[in-house]
Structure 1
């Protein structure tokens, strides 16, 4: 299993080509899962590029779930697209994530200014205000 998802060596007796094909398929599926959770981040990679870009980053990293994988990717390669940056800012408003433990919902009201837009968290929801 570690050879398939975490970059470990292929165990003796296994067909390396079959393992590589399975790795590729699992990375593609993982990229699709992350794209459903982070649609703007995936779109920021460019048309038809998300699976390739994400798979290159994810190869050798154990999966942590689509929310956390997308967040780690966005922190490692900050999005240049405004919509993807806003998506990340909204996640950071609603969720607490330290990069080590699983993200958890934040509690209580909060406000952030992002690119001239006021982001508010109230009762677990994100509200936005553009002056």
Structure 2
């Protein structure tokens, strides 16, 4: 029973194959609903990234997240923002949010984010943010 549950969970959240004995349509509907819920959670942690993508947010996030297990909303948003930056498709608002986060927090993509020592600089998509005396300032906005 535990193995079947693990197979179903892998199908729903990590893009695993459909276990035998399950109807594809309801499992696919549940998978899409979970992706929407996960996207909403990430948008709450990364509001500027979501706003910058606008109507494309849901599709962009779902395409990126399909087949990837979650690392938590904060880290999922961070990983998505970095991937969009690397592809050159990070919107200006998302670049500014990413630069500010990277000025405050150190994140290597594997371990949980940790606070940076002061002062620190973050850069993304042309945006530059600096952390001094516990405050983050956007020195240069992203290219629009």
- Residue number in structure 2 paired with 1:22: 30
Q: For residues 53 and 75 of structure 1, what CA distance do their matches in structure 2 show? A: 13
Q: For residues 113 and 97 of structure 1, what CA distance do their matches in structure 2 show? A: 12
Structure (1/2) with the larger helix percentage: 2
Out of 15, 39, 56, the position equivalent to 1:49 is 56
Q: How does 1:101-112 map to 2 (within 5 A)?
A: 101-106=111-116, 108-112=117-121
Q: For residues 26 and 116 of structure 1, what CA distance do their matches in structure 2 show? A: 32
Q: How does 1:71-90 map to 2 (within 5 A)?
A: 71-78=78-85, 79-90=89-100
Q: Deviations over 1:13-45 (max 9, x none)?
A: 111111100000000011111111111111121
**TM-score normalised to structure 2 length:** 0.78
Unaligned runs of 5+ residues in structure 2 are 1-8
Instruction: Give the RMSD, CA atoms, in angstroms.
Output: 2.0
Please list every run of at least 4 consecutive aligned residues from structure 1 whose deviation after the TM superposition is greater than 3 angstroms: 113-118, 127-130
Q: For residues 80 and 16 of structure 1, what CA distance do their matches in structure 2 show? A: 34
Out of 2, 12, 17, the position equivalent to 1:4 is 12
> What is the deviation of 1:82?
2.2
Unaligned runs of 5+ residues in structure 1 are none
Q: For residues 15 and 113 of structure 1, what CA distance do their matches in structure 2 show? A: 47
